[in-house]
Amino acid sequence: MANAMLLITVLLSFLILPFSAVALTQDFCVANLSRSDTPAGYPCKALVSADDFYYNGLADAGNTNNIFKATFTPATVSQFPGVNGLGISAARVDIGVGGVVPLHTHPAATELIFVTQGTIVAAFISSDSNTVYTKTLYKGDIMVFPQGLFHYQYNIGASPAVLLVAFSGPNPGLQITVLALFANNLPSNIVQKVSFLDDAQVQKYKSMFNGTA
């Protein structure tokens, strides 16, 4: 009987291990950021203290003096190594009056936003039918954006908006569509081909986002 239980436990461990290797074998694995990240997270650092599980980098408003009038301030594993291996991380988004977090995706996490100030419109677009799921959010509202889907937020109020963000992974990633298209050295004729924009539009946006022709 004891042997059967042991066998079941061992078998279950193998089933579960690939998804939560850290949780089963040790309480935590604070990232050693001087090592390389891996698909299973960073290797653990040796000496850990309470400071590793604490971060105050979201306390202050981010600088929204940029083309988007918005700032994303991450508390993901690179800034907050204590979340390594825990399947969670955070961020703060400040959106000035008239500001926008343009169409973007986090390839590796679902995102949940909590509006703590201001009024925004937020939406995501499904990948199967390109259906737009859009809502107006007021202070205190939350909304979830499923992993990997394109989404955006913009401020429709008369004052700055602040969102607290929870991610379902320690390293959600961030890719912004206009930057992927225009903020690099992708040749203009290729951008035209893959975006259906004309040359004048591509030149305008490359110059706006510091891409090279």
Distance from C-alpha of 94 to C-alpha of 100, rounded to nearest angstrom: 10
Minimum Å gap between C-beta 32 and ligand NAG is 4
What would you report as the CA-atom Rg of the chain, rounded to the nearest whole angstrom? 21
72 Cβ contact partners less than 8 Å away, ≥ 6 residues apart? 62, 91, 92, 93, 101, 174
Residue 124, marked binder = no
- Closer to ligand NAG at the Cβ: 42 or 154? 42
Q: Does 78 bind ligand NAG (CB under 6 A)?
A: no
Q: Among residues 1, 46, 59, 158, which is the contact residue for ligand NAG, using CB under 6 A? A: 46
Paired tokens of 197: 């924009």
Paired tokens of 57: 């980098």
Distance from C-alpha of 122 to C-alpha of 105, rounded to nearest angstrom: 13
Helix (H) and strand (E) counts in the chain: 5, 10
Size of the site for ligand NAG (CB under 6 A): 6
Residue 151, marked binder = yes
Residue 106, marked binder = yes
- Closer to ligand NAG at the Cβ: 2 or 46? 46
Minimum Å gap between C-beta 30 and ligand NAG is 8
Site for ligand NAG in 23-42 (CB under 6 A): 32, 34-35
Residue 111, marked binder = yes
Count of C-beta atoms within a 10 Å radius of residue 213: 11
Q: Which residues bind ligand NAG (CB under 6 A)?
A: 32, 34-35, 45-47
Task: List the binding residues for oxalate.
Answer: 106, 111
